[in-house]
Amino acid sequence: MEVDAAEIAVVSFERVLSGDDTAKRAVSKEIYDAFSTVGWVYIKDHGIPQTRVDSVFELAKIFFDLPLEKKYSWRLKDAKVNQGYTGDGDEANGGVDHKECYEHRRYNNDLCPSAEELPGFRDTLDEFYGQCLTLGLNVLKCLAMALELGDNFFDNITKTADPQLRLVHYPSIERKILEQEGHARIIPHTDFGLCTLLFQDQTGGLEVDPFHTGEFKQALPIPGTVLINIADLMQRLTNGRCRSTIHRVVSPKTPGDILPARYSIPFFIHPDADVLIDPITKSQDEVKKYEPVNAGEWRVFNTIKNYTTLKGSSVPIGSATAA
C-alpha cells in the first residue's frame, strides 16, 4: 500500500545560531506551528557536524555487530536507571518489536563499553550527547519564546536532567515476519518525555499518524536534518497546545522479501526528576486537560511499562502512553 509523506516542515536553525532577535522569533514561530500541528519538525543547519553523526552511526554498527553474549554483559537491568543494552524482544508494549537498543546517559552510565572493549565508543557518545542536549535545549528555548514562558523556562526544569541517547538497530528481517499482525520494527507509540531528537539512516520506514486518524504517513529521511518530535510530558505541560503524536517503524518501501537493516539514534529529553508537570493555562477560563504528574515517577513508570524484562517492579502513577 502506498503511504504519502507527512507534511513536516523543514526549518533552518542557522537564524537561531547566528541571527538576531527578530530572526529567532521567526524561527520560534515556525517551530511552534509544527509542534502544535503534526508535532514534528525537521531541523537543518543544526550545528552538529555530519561527520560526528556519521561516526555515531558507525559506532552503533560496530556495537550491534558484537556477539549477543558480549552485548548482554551490558544488559539494562534497572528501569530507574534505564541504561545499557536491550535485546530483540526485551522491549514491547502490547505488540512485538523487532529491534535491539543501547541507552547512554550522562550521570548513570555504568553499563557502557569501556575504551578497551570498544575504542572511542564512550568518548564519542559523551560528546555527541552534549551536542544533542545543547541543540535540544536551544529548540526548547525557541518553543518557550513562542509560548511566552520566559526564554529560560526549559533550562530551569532540565538543570540536572539525565536524558537518554539511544542507539537502535532494526536487524535485517524477512518481510513476512515483520508484516504479521501486531509486529513492527517499533509498534505505534508516543514518546513520553518532553521531546525527542531523532537521527535516522537512509533506509526509511518511520511513519507518523499526525492527526490520530489511523492514517500513517512517511517521515522520510532527509540527509543533514534531525527530526524533533513532541512527547507526552510536553503535551501535558502545554495543556495540549503541543502535540505528542503516534509514530511507528514498519517495512521500508523497498521491494524484496528480505528487508535491509535500519539504524536510528533518538535522544529523549526528560525534565529534572523532581519537577511537577502541571498544565500551563493561558487564561482563567482555560480548563486543565491533565492531572499534574511528577516527572521522575512518570519516567520510571513508563520505562517499566515498556520493558518486558523489567515488569517485576511497579510505581504507582496514573496511566500513560508508550515508548
From the CB of 322, what's the least distance to ligand AKG, in Å?
A: 8
Closest Cα partner for 160 from 254, 51, 295, 68?
A: 295
Cα distances from 154 to residues 133, 148, 160, 235, 296, in angstroms, run 12, 12, 12, 14, 16
Cα 109-114-119 angle, rounded to 5 deg: 125
Check residue 103 for interaction with Fe ion (CB under 5 A). Answer: no
From the CB of 186, what's the least distance to Fe ion, in Å?
A: 7
Give 253's DSSP letter: S
Closest Cα partner for 233 from 293, 187, 286?
A: 293
Contact between residue 185 and residue 178 where contact means Cβ atoms under 8 Å apart: yes
Instruction: Quote the CA–CA distance of 54 and 260 in Å, as a whole number.
Output: 18
**Which single residue is written with the C-alpha cell 541571527?**
19
By a kind-dependent CB cut-off of 5 to 8 A, residue 200 interacts, out of ligand AKG, Fe ion, none, with ligand AKG
Residue selected from 249, 250, 304, 310 as contacting ligand AKG according to rule CB under 6 A: 249
Site for ligand AKG in 207-226 (CB under 6 A): none
Site for ligand AKG in 161-180 (CB under 6 A): 166, 168
Q: Quick one: which segment of 60-68, 122-130, 185-193, 278-286 binds Fe ion (CB under 5 A)?
A: 185-193
Q: Is 155 exposed, middle or buried (0-12, 13-18, 19+ CB in 10 A)?
A: middle
Contact between residue 160 and residue 290 where contact means Cβ atoms under 8 Å apart: no
Q: Quick one: which segment of 16-24, 55-63, 65-73, 198-206 binds ligand AKG (CB under 6 A)?
A: 198-206
Residue 276, Cβ neighbours under 10 Å: how many? 11
Check residue 264 for interaction with ligand AKG (CB under 6 A). Answer: yes
Check residue 323 for interaction with ligand AKG (CB under 6 A). Answer: yes
Check residue 184 for interaction with ligand AKG (CB under 6 A). Answer: no
Check residue 191 for interaction with Fe ion (CB under 5 A). Answer: yes
From the CB of 93, what's the least distance to Fe ion, in Å?
A: 11
Residue selected from 81, 198, 242, 300 as contacting ligand AKG according to rule CB under 6 A: 198
By a kind-dependent CB cut-off of 5 to 8 A, residue 250 interacts, out of ligand AKG, Fe ion, none, with none
The DSSP element (H or E) to which 165 belongs, if any, is: strand 164-170
Nearer to Fe ion, 184 or 310 (CB): 184
Check residue 235 for interaction with ligand AKG (CB under 6 A). Answer: no
From the CB of 40, what's the least distance to ligand AKG, in Å?
A: 11
Question: Where does 157-239 have alpha helices with state H?
Answer: 175-178, 232-237
Instruction: Quote the CA–CA distance of 154 and 140 in Å, as a whole number.
Output: 6
In the chain, what's the furthest Cα-to-Cα distance?
60
By a kind-dependent CB cut-off of 5 to 8 A, residue 198 interacts, out of ligand AKG, Fe ion, none, with ligand AKG
By a kind-dependent CB cut-off of 5 to 8 A, residue 100 interacts, out of Fe ion, ligand AKG, none, with none
By a kind-dependent CB cut-off of 5 to 8 A, residue 168 interacts, out of Fe ion, ligand AKG, none, with ligand AKG
DSSP 128-157: HHHHHHHHHHHHHHHHHHHTTS-TTHHHHT
**Which residues sit at the interface with ligand AKG, rule CB under 6 A?**
166, 168, 186, 191, 198, 200, 206, 247, 249, 264, 266, 323
* Interacting residues with Fe ion (CB under 5 A): 191, 323
